[in-house]
Structure 1
Amino acid sequence: MWKYNEDFSYVRHGIQFIIFSMIFVTAIGLGGDEFYGVFGKENYVTIHLMMEIFIIVVTMSISIQTWLISPYILSNRGLYVGALFLTISFIEMAHTLSYKGMPFFITDNTPYVATWFYILGRLLLSMGSLLIFFIKEKEIKLIYRWFIYSLPFVIIIGCFCVLYAQTPILPPLMIEGEGPTVLKNTLQYTAVALQLVIIGLLFKNLKKAPKIIFLLLSSSIYLIMSDYLFTIYQDVYDIKNFIGHIFELGAYYFLFRAIYFSSIEKPFKQLIDTQEHLEKSREKMHYMAYHNEITNLPNERFLMETLKKDLYISKSQKAILAIGIERLSAIKASLGSTYADQMIGLIAQRLKNVLPEQYLLCMLREDYFVVYINEVSNTHQLTQLSQQLQFAMEESFQIQHFALNSQLNIGIALFPTDSYREEELIRFALYAMHEAQKTPTRIRFYESSISKETTERLLLENDLHDALANQELFLEYQPQLDLHTGQIKSVEALVRWQHPKKGWISPGVFIPIAEESGLIIPIGQWVLETACQQVKRWEAAGLPPIKVAVNLSLGQLFQQNLVEIIHNVLEKAQLEPKYLQLEITESMTINIDHMTTILHKLKALGVTIAVDDFGTGYSSLSYLKDFPIDCLKIDRSFVQKIQSNSTDKALVDMILSMAKHLQLKVVAEGIEEIEQLSYLVASQCDTVQGFLFSKPVSPRTLQENYQTLHNEAKYILDSIIASKV
């Protein structure tokens, strides 16, 4: 497209030329008498003829050009412009043929007819241009161009009839020996006045089409210059007459350029620009088709085409490294795609900084990277490279106000040892990558035994995507017994999965998959909503108020709108916040700043906060004073050996003592034997849960057996108390 600044650059240069022309005209007007008859009086008819021929050619060219393009534009304005210049062309021909000194044309040539033809042409140009300016542009039918282009013939015939009448109808405009009459000058200045009006209208629209408007302005200015010269010249031999014709020719040239530019040059430039844009778009589309949008790294299509060309050139050992980003799905699900994309970009940059230039680094499906190494001397080389890549990730990624950490799981497949086919090499490397997270080094070479296990895991992950929609997930609730009152005042909500083909899937199997894939976010929200609604159903069924404990995942805790989500869940279920307990694990407390902020906001809602599996993590205990925690849950691994293992017994005693001093409640999990319960009762533990009282049950079972569970719990507690008396 014609550039805005290019148009104004053209205008600036044109203004300089116009100013020079005006200075030249002023000089001619003041000192032109010195050049009177400078070309020789016998040559002026020939010179005039040449000038008029040029003018006729230009005006006829405008008319023909407009006629030729009219089938493609069908603009009423365009056709009127063409008809106007066809008329002016005819009038200029008549003016030329009737000019004094030319051969006989209808009658003896005199200044009378020639001057009137000239004045009619000037008035027609000014009035016609002004009229066309005010006509509203619209599309017309092609047949109308024949009618519009017939008008010039009617006008020129009318002019001939009037000017060649036997008795002159119009007064003379030129008197030989005296020069122009007052009437001629008046008509000439009328044309000038109309041109000034046109100039004013053009200036108002200059910004819309700078180059076209400037050319039209230049034409009007040149016409005014020619009119000025034609009003002050003495006779046809005066240099002012010749210069006036020069400016008249220049005016028509500018008009021709304006029409040519608007109808041919500008559309052609637009076409070229469009072609260039399309070419750039094709290049961009080609680049996008072979590169990842986030990292600008080659994508899977690029990698596959490279492998097909390069893999079989030689039988030398080659390698595919599949690099998985730990916790990426959880970050994307909790913080959003913006954070995840920024982290991917930073990881890609660190990988490029480590990898040699000859290695091909690709980004596949926005989830993992692939490195293709076309020559491998030994596997130790690959192990060292993998360790260097992992080391590059040790420093935290600072993304806005979050300091995010991630590790790399790297799977390696070798050509031709593992496979000769490019698709299998990539797939085997991915299998090894998934298994790498189970190893301490997080680096794994592909082995044939990996395929079956990984395939099953990937299929399970795929099924988990549909489990929520297909209502395959459900909740069970394990009662928690208050040892001070002997009543069941709370339950823990536990998610279960009944696969339609594989049956019951252990939470220990599908929860890690959900966390890695990011599905833990929607599953966690569903658990919250379902558990809160169930508490209200129990209340409606006549059960006393029951607090429900729900586990939060790390991904949920990093959701920016988690507090709002929980508030909305409570509001929708019409459940008082004190009947909801949110459980976190010690491993979540590493990011102290973020956790402190989010937990205080959750606490402000009125819910209680518990630390699950307390004692199994590796965090500093300082979080106990920083976090608004209400409860500690002793992990079942300590409780189960409380009678046989003195270390576990000491740990339980320490947790109970610490909780008492910090004014925290304690829940002991995994109570299966009377001896375990007896010890906890004696140690003044607050609450217990375990198979001794009840395994996790469906909400309906809990509702129907609530009183029975109470009675059984009371019997067990009474027996313990009786045994100590």
Structure 2
Amino acid sequence: MHKGHLDNNEEQIKDTLGMNDIISVLRNEFSNIYLVDCKSQQIEIYRYKNQAVGVKEILQTKQPYKAAIQKYIEENVVLEDRKKMNAAADFEHVCSQLHKIPQFTVHYRVKRDGVLSYYYMKCARIGDADTFQRVIFAFANEDADVKQNEIEKIIHADITTGKRKILIIEDDALNREMLCEILKDKYDILTAENGEIGFEILEKNYKALSVILLDMQMPVCDGTEFLKKIGEDTALASIPVIVITANSDEDAELTCLNLGASDFIRKPYNADIIKGRVDNVIKLKESTLMLAAVEHDELTGLYTRQVFLHYAKGIMKFRADTPMHLVVAKIIDFKLIKHMYGNKKADEVIGYLASVYSNRVRNGLVARQGHNSFVGLFWEDYKTFEQKLKNVISEVKANLPVKGLMVKYGVYKDIDKRLPVSAICDCASMAEESIADNYDCDMAYYTEEMGHKRINNQMIEIAFESALKNHEFIVFYQPKVDIDTEKVVGAEALVRWYKDGTSLISPGEFIPVYERDGLIVRLDEYVFRQVCSLQKRRMDKGEELLPISVNLSRTSALHEDVAKRYIDIIKENGIPFSCVPIELTESAAIYNDRVKAMTEQLTDAGCILHIDDFGVGYSSLISLNQFPFSTLKIDKSLIDDVCQSKGKTLVEQVITLSKLLDMKVVAEGVETKEQLDIIKALQCDAVQGFYYAKPMPEDEFIEYVKGIQSKNQ
């Protein structure tokens, strides 16, 4: 993008940075944006998308603005509007108008290829009325997604003054006045009497602010609280903060620096030092372009999630009466795509989706969140938007670089603007998650029932620490029975939650929550420790050690040092590695270098690995080839159909394959005598299911084992 020939003096650098902020806000709605120097009338191009509103071919002439605008009017503007447009676009007239007002708009009509379109030209000054040296000309179609009052507010807020803007947050009125007096000649100053008011001002003006001067000792939201608060928002944290303090304690300075402060000013004030430090911090910020660096995702050019959350919050306030809808789009099994096709193809998929989402859906704000999902906030009548969204979904489905790839959409329509933006995103994500495994459905809507579930999930998260501390998580044991001898040959450890020691919460409620938020890692380890403790007690009593397998979730399998921790736990208890087999689900066993390294550590130490839920994932054969499993557990969903011809054939082939690979086979979910007889005929090794026993607490399990073993002696 050509930006003309800029001088290097400070005033022009300041103007250019101001223009970049304007371009950053205006985004793609204006097809062409030019900056014209008032003295030379030379044009600097900031956007050049529509060649019919172009100046490139005549930039070398003596009066490029005049020549360009005349050519544009003659070739594009309808005859009836040319006189008005010529008068309005005359540069002397433009400057005359901008001496009176900061910006104005000219509406006109364009006819191309027989099609009539309504356009407007936005003219705005950079600087104050008496000294401005630059003028913005921005061209857009009337149908484009930009509202005049919004642009006017942006321009009015950001470029009505040529000075850099700073915010002083100081509760002492005299100190505020002193700082304003020292800095007022060079800077446009905003002031706040405490951190709370300062944060409100920052949210409204952060794009225009160059630096914040922050007193540490304030009665309402002191400096430390303020630094922590802005540190949670990537966009706000990009504004440098100079701390004002009378404290010479080095620990206090270190605390401020750790919270993101850029520099210090000590009381009593020295005017020259204050000016010098403010100037240096601003230059550092501008030279590194910190704000631009955090706003956009490097691969797609879309907003990052943090910046999206900030902008969306502002849009929701500004458009309080406008219906809004939030959409989350997520690529299913993206890690598998990376493994099968490589990072280059995966990046191509992300780039394609970003292009479609940003170019096809108007009236909205789109961002990339995470490695495999996008989020968008849109404002318009829902029926209109819904049809557009369905068209986009169809287009994506038909043209994805990887055929057969699934992208799921969660929609929260007519959002509740009282909720935090992050909570609204969570609602849409819940809708998406409800169809993540549904091949027949691409889009789902957030419902009130999901809202209740979200609240329940939050309560489940909050209760985790106390539940763990109070041993509310109880390990149950489901026996594994030899299919020929009917002796108990092992068990699987399954966790149950007795909240407050009384009410039972289903694993189907809390396990998915803890898998999403990562708490499952600690819960997995808790269960593993309980099982190892049981085995140690049995060993110390001289009792037979039946192998009790423990599930390792996908999250835990990818967690750092999990193999070392589990090996250490076994060694601490002094029990054989073989008595606590570890079960990996098929989804956790998708070939991955990190998981493979983890399993090798476990097996090298002597651990036994089982593959759980076989038959419901995507990479069964890859898993069997790449991982050292000793036992295969056939998923209940296959056993449910074993009494049917096709189901029986499928289970038979799985058992045959397992035998050829020298693996034992356990059938999960056996509930009837008919199922048992068929599985026995197919030469399965063991069964686990309600036919023999449900999961039971430790004491009942031990008594059950004793009863079965004595019965079969």
TM-score by length of 1: 0.49
Larger relative contact order (C-alpha < 8 A, sep ≥ 6)?
A: 1
More strand, by proportion: 2
Larger Rg: 1
More helix, by proportion: 1
TM-score by length of 2: 0.50
